[in-house]
A and B are shown apart, each in its own frame.
Chain A
């Protein structure tokens, strides 16, 4: 399977614990995006990387959230001191930048986080 993969698929944690999610993009895709989707809503942009550089962060990304893409390949999203409001589906997408047309983002299946 050469699509975007995310692990784990589900995570249940207690409030106050730290969690980390991993995203493996499609190989050779230099852009990687993180989105958050709550029940009944569309995905909301959190942050994105071009290669290993984090180029933009949404104001939704509080200081409890940190994302990395150390070698320009896989990425991790860490949430510290989780709160119940962090419960959501965390989606990762990847694409190739450049060109003059729309650069399609391919989404992974997401990691569903439940904070008790």
Chain B
């Protein structure tokens, strides 16, 4: 059973544009909502993470916006660059015992046109 629903499945953005990826979840009994970036042939790497008591977090060109009432969160990539072309996964940490087990969305393949 998927616990984070991610959209779109794929996204094409012009260089310099804003890339937006959305995720929805079912409840808030968990601690963190991270985003991962994965390049072909590599494992996922943590990009940025947010707690549900924070509405926005920005790190460089990457921003997470969190809407607790709507149970949604999104990743915005400002000034998108060809090097940002990768697959992005939203996720949530599952486990009241703080096992930090990660539940991933299905991923969004982002392609930035040069």
Contact = CB atoms under 8 A, between A and B. Distances in A.
Interface stretch (B40-48, B61-69, B75-83): B40-48
Contact of A104 (B42, B46, B51, B89): B46
Interface in B74-114: 89, 91, 93, 98-107
A108 interface: yes
Given A102-B49, A108-B43, A43 B99 contact: no
Highest count of chain B CB atoms <10 Å: which of A45, A105, A110: A105
B56 interface: no
Interface in A47-86: 48, 55-56
B89 A42 contact: yes
A26 interface: no
Highest count of chain A CB atoms <10 Å: which of B32, B93, B102: B102
A56 B101 CA distance: 10
A107 B45 contact: yes
Interface residues of B, number: 24
B106 A41 contact: yes
Contact of A42 (B34, B43, B51, B91): B91
Main DSSP-derived SS at the B contact region: loop
Contacts of A103: 100
Interface string A16-32: 00000000000000010
Given A42-B91, A42-B105, A42-B106, A105 B42 contact: no
B43 A45 contact: no
Interface in A77-100: 91, 93, 95, 97
B100 A107 contact: no
Given A41-B107, A42-B107, A102-B49, A31 B43 contact: no
A106 to B, nearest CB: 8
27 contacts: A4-B43, A31-B100, A33-B101, A40-B106, A41-B107, A42-B104, A43-B89, A43-B104, A44-B104, A45-B102, A48-B99, A55-B99, A91-B44, A95-B100, A102-B32, A102-B49, A102-B51, A102-B93, A103-B100, A104-B49, A105-B100, A105-B102, A107-B43, A107-B44, A107-B45, A109-B43, A110-B43
